[in-house]
Amino acid sequence: MRPWRFVIWFGTISLLADWVYEGARSVTGPLLASLGASAALIGIVTGAGEAAALVLRLGSGPMADRSGRFWAWAISGYALTVVSVPVLGVSGVLWVTCALVIAERVGKAVRSPAKDTLLSHATAATGRGRGFGVHEAMDQVGALLGPLTVAGMLALTGNDYAPSLGILALPGIAVLAVLTWLRRKVPDPAAYERAVTPEAAPQEPGARLPRAFWVYASFTAATMTGFATFGVLSYHLVARGLLPTAAVPLIYAAAMAVAAVAALATGWMYDRVGPRVLIVLPFLSAAVPALAFTASLTPVVLGSLVWGAATGVQESTLRATVADLVAPGRRATAYGVFAAVVGAAAFAGGTLTGVLYDVSIPLLITVVAAIQAAAVALLALSGGMLRHA
């Protein structure tokens, strides 16, 4: 199988998987509430799930590197997710449903470092930026299909969660079928990378991550710390009476469409100019609060679309750079560490923007701009190191 076909098929797997778990995540709160959960419990369970999805990669990444069984880790993680989701609607017991919500996120932690490593081998031949960009664009299609499927089923069944989540078993079965087939077709994706970089020195699984990786992770942490979450953006839309609650998902869907386009565009540019294309990310992040937290609908919608563009860069080109900085022997470990850094910074960014929103919106805009200026300076200082890593 040629490298581009591998990327497309892996993109199909991610599309189907996002169809499953993004569909479930779109109704996690109402589902738990219907079983008697309080707002506090919903926050704890969903927060624990997101923490598990990121922090556990610190273990799954190194273990995947040591074992070399990347396909097994990927298949196991996807299986845990696609089994957990359809059962959510029929468990009927609050603590069981809470455990399943967390289990779905654990599945993401299990598979992600291995999945990104497998994909990175093929993108060595297709171009890192373009390969990860196409994969992310396909991923976003699934992120749209899942919530739309669940919303349609809830409307048809009178808000019955059992069939609305049970139908997600169909794309879930397809995920495992395509994964198993692709593993048989391409048992050793690392051959793609060996074919284009045969002179690259192998890196032992126990070796330290290169300094360039830590510099890059520091830049990423800075720009993510000043990045607003869509939760705060959507709160602003409703609290200021700019849009009815029912219209907010449409803004989110539009933002996801922009994310797909941004992933493709910056991925293409990354292959032409390298990490310098990432200079766009701090400017996008700084523009979000300046536009989205105003009192007029047009700039708020524009700010939400800019938020989508920044998200597309984060989910594609940031991951592509990691593959260029770290040799295959430590790449799953690097992806695990990188995810933990991004998660911690995103949590700090969400907390910061939420707190400052309540204190002063002008102060929020100023603080975020200052953080993003620091990120620009860090990227400029480390530019040579990243280009020659």
Considering the domain architecture, whether residues 47 and 182 belong to the same structural domain is answered as: yes
b/e code 314-329 from CB counts within 10 Å (16+ = b): bbbbbbbbbbbbbbbb
| pLDDT tens figures, 243-283 | 776 577 678 778 888 888 998 899 889 888 888 888 999 99
Considering the domain architecture, whether residues 95 and 220 belong to the same structural domain is answered as: no
Residue 5 carries which side chain, given as an amino acid letter?
A: R
| pLDDT tens figures, 210-243 | 888 888 888 888 888 888 777 677 778 877 888 7
Considering the domain architecture, whether residues 305 and 245 belong to the same structural domain is answered as: yes
Token reading at 265: 């565009």
Query: Within 10 Å of residue 351's Cβ, how many Cβ atoms?
Result: 12
Considering the domain architecture, whether residues 246 and 352 belong to the same structural domain is answered as: yes
Give domain status of residue 192, yes or no. no
Token reading at 177: 């079928």
Tokens 């297709």, located at residue:
126
Spatial separation of the C-alpha atoms in residues 233 and 293, rounded to whole Å: 7
Give domain status of residue 203, yes or no. no
Give domain status of residue 195, yes or no. no
Average pLDDT over residues 1-8: 95
Question: Tell me, what's the pLDDT at 363?
Answer: 94
Give domain status of residue 105, yes or no. yes
> Can you give the CATH number for the domain in which 169 is found?
1.20.1250.20
Considering the domain architecture, whether residues 14 and 161 belong to the same structural domain is answered as: yes
Q: Between 296 and 30, where is the model more confident? A: 296
Considering the domain architecture, whether residues 220 and 309 belong to the same structural domain is answered as: yes
Orientation of helix 331-359 relative to helix 361-381, angle to 10°? 150
**DSSP string covering 34-84, please?**
HTT--HHHHHHHHHHHHHHHHHTHHHHHHHHHHH--HHHHHHHHHHHHHHH
Question: Tell me, what's the pLDDT at 204?
Answer: 56
Considering the domain architecture, whether residues 168 and 223 belong to the same structural domain is answered as: no
Task: Let me know: does 77 contact 83? Beta carbons within 8 Å.
Answer: no
Spatial separation of the C-alpha atoms in residues 330 and 327, rounded to whole Å: 6
Question: How high is the mean pLDDT of the chain?
Answer: 87
3-class DSSP state for residue 261?
helix
> 3-state DSSP: the chain helix, strand, coil percent, rounded to 5?
85, 0, 15
Spatial separation of the C-alpha atoms in residues 132 and 4, rounded to whole Å: 11
Give domain status of residue 370, yes or no. yes
Query: Within 10 Å of residue 382's Cβ, how many Cβ atoms?
Result: 19
DSSP state of 297: H
| pLDDT tens figures, 125-177 | 999 899 999 998 899 889 888 888 888 888 888 888 899 999 999 999 999 99
**Max intra-chain CA distance, the chain:** 61
Give domain status of residue 191, yes or no. no
Spatial separation of the C-alpha atoms in residues 10 and 6, rounded to whole Å: 6
pLDDT at 198 over 90: no
Out of 186, 220, 244, a domain closes at: 186
Find the domain containing 92 and state its range.
3-186
Task: Let me know: does 149 contact 167? Beta carbons within 8 Å.
Answer: yes
Question: Tell me, what's the pLDDT at 326?
Answer: 87
Terminus-to-terminus CA distance in the chain, angstroms? 29
DSSP state of 304: H
Considering the domain architecture, whether residues 270 and 324 belong to the same structural domain is answered as: yes
Task: Let me know how many helices (H) and strands (E) the chain has, helices first.
Answer: 18, 0
Give domain status of residue 217, yes or no. yes
Considering the domain architecture, whether residues 27 and 163 belong to the same structural domain is answered as: yes
| pLDDT tens figures, 311-345 | 888 888 888 888 888 888 889 999 999 988 887 88
Give domain status of residue 205, yes or no. no
Spatial separation of the C-alpha atoms in residues 325 and 327, rounded to whole Å: 7
Considering the domain architecture, whether residues 57 and 165 belong to the same structural domain is answered as: yes
Out of 146, 170, 186, a domain closes at: 186
Considering the domain architecture, whether residues 168 and 19 belong to the same structural domain is answered as: yes
Token reading at 95: 């603590």
pTM here? 0.81
**CA 220 vs CA 122, 247, 288: distances in Å:** 24, 32, 17
Spatial separation of the C-alpha atoms in residues 309 and 352, rounded to whole Å: 21
| pLDDT tens figures, 82-106 | 999 999 989 888 999 999 999 999 9
The phi-psi region of residue 380 (left if phi > 0; otherwise alpha if psi is between -120 and 50; otherwise beta) is: alpha
Looking at the 3D structure of the chain, how many domains does it have? Answer: 2
Considering the domain architecture, whether residues 247 and 125 belong to the same structural domain is answered as: no
